[in-house]
Structure 1
Amino acid sequence: MIILIFFACHWYFSLFFQTFFHHRYSAHQMFTMSKTTEKVFIFLSWLTQGSSYLSPYSYGVLHRLHHAYADTEKDPHSPKYDKNIWAMMWRTKTIYMDILNDNYPVESKFKKDLPHWPAFEKFADGWFSRIAWGTLYVLFYIAFATQWWMFLLLPIHFLMGPFHGAIINWFAHTIGSIRFKMNDTSRNLFPVDFLMLGESYHNNHHSHPGRANFGIKWYEVDPVYPFIRLFHWMRIIKLKPIAVHA
């Protein structure tokens, strides 16, 4: 039971910071926050994502490119241009690292206002941090796992962030329902989405990329949106009007 609780906590805390901070803030700027608050969220992202920490700067550039060039040859992750999910994610990883190391040609408009903390991110994205987190996961499982099959969950822990990305970037472009006709293959993966905290309403999002609430129909619950409203009320962030009414 302890292992399953730990897995669920890692899954949802990692995903929360990816969808709230990396996706809705860094990539889409749906709300604003102070530079100090940015650093707090960068640290919390590292704390929750662990060995699969994603730089909000590289993620932001990558995702902006995805929206600008969705399902074209310039899209950094499109099922149309890769033969399988593994090939797509490997290409995504390569582009991510090239962006992080300034080896990928990117127009300045895709870099505008992205959160960046170079000193900390160099550490958080380094191999020492990743191996240290991975070691902690293994030790936790050695201490608390009661069945052999539980150890099969470890690879997901190691690659939690990319695992979440693969679910949306592959399956939400290949299966699911289409509500809005777009010039891309985006789909809504689930009718009600608690597994991916609203991220699977992908066709909704491509149609309304500035909308903070990914759900549109009454039954499309976006579990992250109430937290966005709460943080706005607490003045941790400031929601942009267009993000509410888009």
Structure 2
Amino acid sequence: MPETSTEKSATLYRMVMTDHMCPFGLKSKDLLERQGYSVDDIHLTSREAVDEFKAMHSVKTTPQTFIDGERVGGFDDLSAYFGNEVKSEDATTYQPVIALFSTAALMAIAITWVSMGTAFSGRTIEWFISVSMVLLGLQKLQDVERFATMFLNYDLLAQRWVRYGYIYPFVETGAGILMMAGALTWLSAPAALVVASIGAVSVFKAVYIDKRELKCACVGGDSKVPLGFVSLTENLMMIGMAIWMLSKL
């Protein structure tokens, strides 16, 4: 950790061009200012200036921060200098699913309030699950190709019929929308029940029987969420919702 002093100053070299402003330069400046530093913010305004700076200091990237005349480095180096954990791009995280399910819960409460004039009712759970299905489906639909490729790692039906991986996001999203509206339950509930049952069995086999460490395709093809409890919960929620909707027919 750096020593604290009454006046702290740093020099920041960052790329600021007409057609490009480096976002990591802005993040470095913001971090320094939040740490109480007075920043000498030096702009590199041309490609020639950038190349000259890199050659002079034997660095490959900008921005670069200097504190007390010593080069700290880029934004990740600066974050580490102040004791902040720098996460790897490949590190597993549950942040996407936490954000998604939290948003789904708030949306379900909002729908309940608008339609029933109360914050919670029996239908709030139904809307929470159906909204979650739609949001999860949208994550997959952003890049169906990448989702289908990741899905092949563990889904038993997709491994036998590759095209199923391309169909699944549309089934999940469509079933969720129909369940939100309470329409065509005879179609949406069985569809959700079938795909979720296959998914639950596939996840259980891959994680708890085969003991494989995989990334979950539940929030799209670039997911860093580990395959396991979250994936199984997603499928069990869909199964429960489908059975409940069928029981109401």
TM-score (norm 2): 0.24
Q: Which has more radius of gyration?
A: 2
Give the TM-score of the pair, scaled to structure 1: 0.24
> Which of the pair has the greater relative contact order for Cα pairs under 8 Å at 6+ separation?
1
